[in-house]
Structure 1
Amino acid sequence: MPDTGEVQDSRTDQAEESAYAKGFDAGYKAGAATGAEEEMASLLPPYTILPGVSAKEVMEAGLQRFLPRLQPLLKPEEVHVRLEQSLALKKPLSVVRLGDGELLALAHDTVLPLAHAKAAGPFLTRAGITLPDYEARDRLAEAVRGADIIGIPASRLPTYQGLLFPVLRYYGIGHDPHRFTISTINYALHEHRLLQPLLLNRQVLVIGNKAEPLAEVLSASGVHITGTVAPVNGFRDVPGALAATAQHTFDIALVASGIPAVVICQTIAAELGKVALDFGHLADKLISGELTYDDDAS
């Protein structure tokens, strides 16, 4: 057992991390609010002020003008229906997700200089790609182009929607309301209690470095796991993972393998005729117990 000092140190570290996180959140919100007010001030005519009106109020009023230009995304219930229909009819369907990692991978030496992409994505190697990797980038673009449903970020920050639309334009991927949903669709399916009905009485294959512990969690809750495929340490493991996948019998594959998950999911649908869902970090949260699969029950 750890001694009292070690336990106390651990608690102190946790308290400091928690305090830091709260401070960061408060600082970020304060900075964002200040930035919005400064931006609004820069748009006012010279020698004028606008008393008693916040930047948020101005944005809310101005947004009304642009409501006709809003573009819909598939809701969790609609994605669930598509998944259920594909499973029932034994038709292929791939659900992939684009976050900052995928977008930086697609953007390097296309819409962003390599140095900029590397500076913005120090985490990319852990996510499955080391820049530059033009073969992986082009394979990723091909997979996005061929995916059935694409999750895109709601965040308008520079490495999210700030990259999304330039990347889509560069690769000639148009916005089809029947193809796009939120990039957190994996969490949304869980939150809306749609994941468990989806997997009920289905043969499920789990793919990724944490495939075995995730399979154990799901199996303990009654999911029929037919196999696991691991490891997937970046794009170099994609061919082997796909070859192993082809040896299994399954209805739906849950893929948690970082950026390569996009390629794996799309290929499973296109070449094996199966349903594949980019499961992402939902796997980690189920394994750790932060989220519980049984909470997903209706």
Structure 2
Amino acid sequence: MIPDKQLLTVDQVFEKLNEAIEKKIPFSLVRIGDGENIILAQDSIMTIEEVLKEKWAQRANQNPKLKGVTLPNLTLRDQMVEAIKAANIVGIPFYNNDPILTEDRLKRKLTDQVFNYFQIIPQIPCHTFVNRVLVQKKNFWKLLKNKRILLISQWSEQSAQILTKHPYNLNAIIGIPFNHYDQMECTLDAIRANRENFDIALISCGVNSVVLAHKVAELTGKIGIDFGKSLMYMVKGKVGMNHSLMRPDIDLLP
């Protein structure tokens, strides 16, 4: 049970990231929301039948690209457990006033249940929407300015076009398209093949991002950031240095 007041602030997460960049050490930031909770709940806290009745699971199975996974998938569940245990920073929901737009039973309550079941104790916790605030901060993009960036997402090509222009002005961007868990192994091969070509990976692949962020750190010794929906939102003009999501914005998370 981790009280909300013990979660790192966004600025503290930024400092941890900055330290990893300066020291050139392996680093992964992963995030747990309702989708990740449902993946972890498969055949643990919930039966497969119960999981498949959840709206999130039904939407995932109706449109494979929407959530990036088809359920059941116990292999992803186990890979996710490994990734969360190894991650340097783990984003989790708040107990109180959490901004995730879903039922309370699928947020922190379920996180605690699955973490207890799998004996997961995050090394350093923060809020799961840390990515949505970082993407709005000038200091974050300044930190990436002279780094080689790997984008892993179905939005990699479109977001690369945005990030090479003002106000981001990033360069040396590599993109790896990713739509569904079925692409996991070939994506890991691509990460290995590019290990000498990037410094930081921004990963927007739904629940798969948890595993991929960990694998970036493990396989290449580089920095893997579970970037949630941020790349998609940037392409849609909903978030970034020139845009701000209503929930959450910089004022919502400390």
TM-score by length of 2: 0.83
Describe the SS at the equivalent of 1:110: coil
Q: RMSD between aligned alpha carbons?
A: 2.0
The one of 109, 121, 131 aligned to 1:186: 131
Pairing 1:124–2:60 present: yes
The one of 273, 284, 291 aligned to 2:221: 273
Alignment partner, residue 290 of structure 1: 238
Structure of higher CA gyration radius = 1
Distance change in 2, residues 1:294/1:246 (3 Å): farther
Instruction: Between the two structures, name the one with larger relative contact order (CA 8 Å, sep ≥ 6).
Output: 2
Pairing 1:202–2:147 present: yes
Pairing 1:173–2:149 present: no
Asked whether the 8 Å contact 1:76–1:192 carries over to 2, the reply is: no
Alignment partner, residue 164 of structure 2: 219
Describe the SS at the equivalent of 1:220: coil
Alignment partner, residue 48 of structure 1: none
1:2-151 counterparts in 2 under 5 A? 71-120=5-54, 121=56, 122-125=58-61, 126-151=66-91
- Between the two proteins, what is the percent identity of the paired residues? 27
Describe the SS at the equivalent of 1:174: coil
Asked whether the 8 Å contact 1:101–1:124 carries over to 2, the reply is: no
Provide, for residues 178-236 of structure 1, a one-character-per-residue CA deviation record: whole Å limited to 9, x for no partner.
x1111101012133443212211111111111101011100113111331111x23222
Distance change in 2, residues 1:194/1:112 (3 Å): farther
Q: In 2, Cα distance between the equivalents of 1:185 and 1:107? A: 23
Pairing 1:264–2:212 present: yes
Provide, for residues 133-189 of structure 1, a one-character-per-residue CA deviation record: whole Å limited to 9, x for no partner.
11121111111111111111123810111200000001101254xx11111010121
The one-letter amino acid paired with 1:213 is: Q
Pairing 1:243–2:183 present: no
The one-letter amino acid paired with 1:172 is: Q
Q: In 1, Cα distance between the equivalents of 2:229 and 2:51? A: 22
Describe the SS at the equivalent of 1:224: coil
Alignment partner, residue 93 of structure 2: 153
**Could you tell me how far 1:241 is from its partner in structure 2?**
0.9
Distance change in 2, residues 1:292/1:135 (3 Å): closer
Distance change in 2, residues 1:295/1:128 (3 Å): closer
**Could you tell me how far 1:270 is from its partner in structure 2?**
1.4
Distance change in 2, residues 1:70/1:151 (3 Å): closer
Asked whether the 8 Å contact 1:80–1:198 carries over to 2, the reply is: no
Distance change in 2, residues 1:175/1:206 (3 Å): closer
The one-letter amino acid paired with 1:275 is: I
Q: In 1, Cα distance between the equivalents of 2:240 and 2:122? A: 34
User: Unaligned stretches of 5+ in structure 2?
Assistant: 245-254
User: Unaligned stretches of 5+ in structure 1?
Assistant: 1-68
Describe the SS at the equivalent of 2:8: coil
TM-score by length of 1: 0.71
Q: In 2, Cα distance between the equivalents of 1:236 and 1:282? A: 22
Q: How many residues align?
A: 226
Q: In 2, Cα distance between the equivalents of 1:284 and 1:180? A: 25
**Could you tell me how far 1:129 is from its partner in structure 2?**
2.2
